[in-house]
Structure 1
Amino acid sequence: MNDRAVNFLKELVETPSPSGFEQPVQRVMRRELEPVADEVRTDVMGNVIARIGAASDGALRVMLAGHCDEIGFMVRYIDDKGFIYFAPIGGVDAHLVPGQRVHVHTAAGPVLGVVGKKPIHLMEAKDRETVVKLTSQFIDLGCVDAEAARNLVAVGDPVTFAVGFEPLQGALAASRGFDDKMGAFIVAEVLRAVRRRGVPPVEVFGVSTVQEEVGLRGATTSTFGIDPHIGIAVDVGFASDVPGVEMKEIGEFKVGGGPIISRGANIHPALFELLVRTAREEDIPCQIMGAPRGTGTDANAMQLSRAGVAAALVQVPLRYMHSPVEVLSLDDIDATIRLLTGVLFRLDNRFPIIPD
């Protein structure tokens, strides 16, 4: 991955975008997409939709979707001493939150705070083994009282972990928000690759969707509006190459092993076969996931839109999902961009939308 791409990915994951508050990151997406797309627009939900026209009229419409929202928190209450109580946005593990630095994103800009925790010396033995409920956790801004805190933050302000992109060894990197701003990044980079390669045989819609973490909401509305024939969701998938993850339950998926291609009820069989064939022909490593039901990703919302869409799901293996230290391989991202670009140029009106 070149420096331009790494800087773009870093900017995306470090720009705050909890579900419902995605427009800071969507502004970055619009900036990157406008030079490469024929049209870029934002719908009423806040989804950013970029289109590249096909080589001929009447071509298949193909939608690529990566959600740009991240997990986070929301300010719910400020007590008399100026401590901030909060609620989760999306699926946040309460184990991980105490002792973290956070940013409260206010109208005037980010305000740094810490999630406080009683010192272990003052805890009863039984309390040391108990997870503190999120409703009992609090943010300390360093304010002397409620008035000082209310002069800085307001009820409803979003909150994110105050961490960003850091390279690890080899091609690995850590950050909050790879789930799934990495997917929005891949969608943008695929459109950039399509533009370099030439006019595609299909009409391509690249969508940075919103509010996936709270119910696949952006994908639901954007798919209805675009009405694609084919939809491919780009998301993260569970890596099982770390201690404590049971391969017998989810399968064997390695960071650095290439994109994960899902197979099952949520996936159009001919589209699955095309993805696998493209990976083989382009010499792209890939991993197969059995998905016996709806996947809980934007692919599910796309498949069930209107009278149905031929859907697929391509995932990048991710360690430590929904934590401040998510880890992935930049090589897997590059492989996914190559895979999806190759698929787009293998699609045409002969693709069997209706299963045999």
Structure 2
Amino acid sequence: MDDKLFKRIKQLTEIQSTSGNEDNIRQLLTKEMTPLVDKVEYDGLGGIFGTKKSSVEDAPRIMLAAHMDEVGFMVSQIKKNGLFSVVPLGGWNPYVVSAQRFTLQTKQGDYPIISSSVPPHLLRGKSGGASLKVTDILFDAGFVSKEEAESFGVRPGDTIVPDVETIVTANGKRIISKAWDNRYGCTLLLDVLEQLKEVELPNTLIAGANVQEEVGLRGAKVSTTKFKPDLFFAIDCSPANDLDGKEDANGRLDGGFLLRIFDPGMIMLPRMREYIVQTAEDHDIPYQTFISQGGTDAGAAHLANNGVPSAVIGVPGRYIHTHQTMFSIKDYEAAREMILKLVTSLDKATVDTIIYGK
């Protein structure tokens, strides 16, 4: 891993932008993408995509889509004592939320805030957190009253985002950060667009990031309607399940990129799967097939318009949807190589074969 790549990962993962309040990450993506594409456009919800036009007549339209939002919270109520009730933005395990540091984002500025916890001394003789829900956890910015919180500009609807520094592990092979789901996709898209800047493609490439994926794949619904791709590739992070060390674990760090063949929202079409697998094997790109209990933007995209054949090129991350995710740079590099091979090979004949079988 070179310094440039780590600096990009650090910058993108430390940015704080949760679902519905993606301005911070969108501003950076706009700045970085603009010199790399022919045109940058937004959809009505705030997704950003750059188009790299092909000079080939009747070139197919290939869409690469990350999502820019990370999991967080929204203030639902300001209590009389100055603490806040929240609703989750994205899926959270309630047992990892307490006693963590966050940032409260308001119209008047950002403030430090922590999630509450109950000391063990006060739980003796009680059931403890046996039935804990995320909405039971209060957030504390140090305000002494509702009126004081409001005087600092706090209002229901303000967002709360994890505050975490991105670091490299001692062996230099893995990274610990928040929001790899899905700043992985944002990082990869910028890397790929840089490498393709002077490359003539056999397709028109539409590459960018959706909003509000973590709250129901909302951004993908509008972006696929706007840009009308022939094929769609979600670039997203999925949960690793390799803690027990089993070699056949569903999602292993250092096992290569994830080829998601099934989740509750999408079954990958056979010809799409076969083409990706053949391409990976032809170029010795390590991959692992993956079955997930959760969905990605591909679940929304493949049902858009008249139906868009879709796939997910992912990477595994341990402990996603928390403050601390661990991931392997090897898996990232495999995913990047896979996307480069796909984008440079998907001409009209190949796309027609994937869609129509001829």
Separation of aligned partners in 2, 1:312 and 1:29: 23
Q: Report the alpha carbon displacement of residue 84 of structure 1 after superposing the two structures with TM.
A: 1.6
1:79 maps to what in 2?
79
Unaligned 5+ runs, structure 1: none
Query: Displacement, 1:129?
Result: 4.6
Equivalent of 2:183 in 159, 173, 181: 181
Partner residue in 2 for 1:268: 269
Alignment of 1:101-250 (within 5 A): 101-152=101-152, 153-168=154-169, 169-196=171-198, 198-243=199-244
Runs of 4+ in 1 over 6 A off after TM superposition: 245-248
Residue in 1 that maps onto 2:284: 283
Return the offset for 1:62. 0.2
* Aligned partner of residue 305 in structure 2, secondary structure: coil
Structure 1 residue 290 displacement after superposition: 4.5
Return the alpha-carbon distance in structure 2 between the equivalents of residues 279 and 330 of structure 1.
Answer: 18
Report which stretch shifted further, 113-122 or 257-266: 257-266
- Residue 278 of structure 1, CA deviation: 2.0
Return the alpha-carbon distance in structure 2 between the equivalents of residues 32 and 310 of structure 1. 28
SS in 1 for 2:132: coil
**Rounded Cα–Cα distance in structure 1 between residues aligned with 2:131 and 2:111:** 26
SS in 2 for 1:35: helix
Query: Is 2:100 the counterpart of 1:100?
Result: yes
* Alpha-carbon distance in structure 2 between the residues aligned to 1:94 and 1:223: 33
SS at match of 2:345: coil
SS in structure 1 at match of 2:299? helix
Please say if residues 266 and 311 of structure 1, whose CA atoms lie closer than 8 Å, have aligned partners that are also in contact. Answer: no
Separation of aligned partners in 2, 1:239 and 1:78: 36
Give percent identity, aligned residues only.
Answer: 31
User: What's the CA shift for 1:42?
Assistant: 1.4
Separation in 2 of the partners of 1:247 and 1:126? 41
Secondary structure of the residue aligned to 2:276 is: helix
Distance 1:171 1:25 in 2: 26
Moved more, 138-147 or 126-135: 126-135
Cα–Cα, structure 1 residues 202 and 310, in superposed 2: closer, same or farther, change >3 Å?
A: same
Task: Tell me how far apart the structure 1 counterparts of residues 38 and 268 of structure 2 sit (CA, whole Å).
Answer: 29
CA positional deviation for 1:238: 2.3
Contact 2:88 2:135 (C-alpha < 8 Å) held by counterparts: no
CA apart distance, 1:164: 3.0
Letter in 1 for 2:268: I
Other-structure match for 1:253: 251
In the comparison of the two structures, how many residue pairs are matched?
A: 350
Q: Following the alignment from structure 1 to structure 2, what is the Cα–Cα distance between the partners of residues 137 and 290? A: 32
Match of 1:329 in 2: 328
Matched-pair contact (CA < 8 Å) for 1:9–1:185: yes
Deviation at 1:201, TM superposition (A): 0.6
TM-score (norm 2): 0.92
Shift of 1:114: 1.4
Moved more, 268-277 or 175-184: 268-277
For the residues of structure 1 that align with 2:124 and 2:55, how far apart are their CA atoms? 70
Residue 95 of structure 1: how far off its partner (Å): 0.9
* Residues 16, 162 of structure 2: 8 Å contact kept: no
Deviations 1:150-208 (A, max 9, x none): 22222211001121312113321111111112112212222222224x11111100020
Aligned pair in 2 of structure 1 residues 268, 192: CA closer, same or farther (>3 Å)?
A: farther
Give the secondary-structure state (helix, strand or coil) at the position aligned to 2:31: helix
Shift of 1:43: 1.7
Shift of the 131–316 alpha-carbon distance from structure 1 to 2, 3 Å rule, reads: same
Q: Which residue of 2 aligns with 1:3?
A: 3
Q: Is the 8 A contact 2:258 2:316 kept in 1?
A: yes
Note the residue ranges of structure 2 that are not aligned, 5 or more in a row.
none
Q: Could you tell me how far apart the structure 2 residues matched to 1:40 and 1:161 are? A: 29
RMSD: 2.0
Give the conservation status (yes or no) of the 8 Å contact 1:113–1:139: yes
The letter for the 1-side match of 2:162 is F
Distance in 1 (alpha carbons) for counterparts of 2:344 and 2:327: 27
- CA offset at residue 301 of structure 1? 1.1
2:304 alignment partner AA: S
In the alignment, the residues of structure 1 paired with residue 4 and residue 131 of structure 2 have an alpha-carbon distance, to the nearest angstrom, of 42
Spell out, residue by residue over 1:72-103, the C-alpha distance to the aligned partner (whole angstroms, 9 max, x if none): 00111112211122111111111111111111
- Tell me whether 1:340 sits opposite 2:339 in the alignment: yes
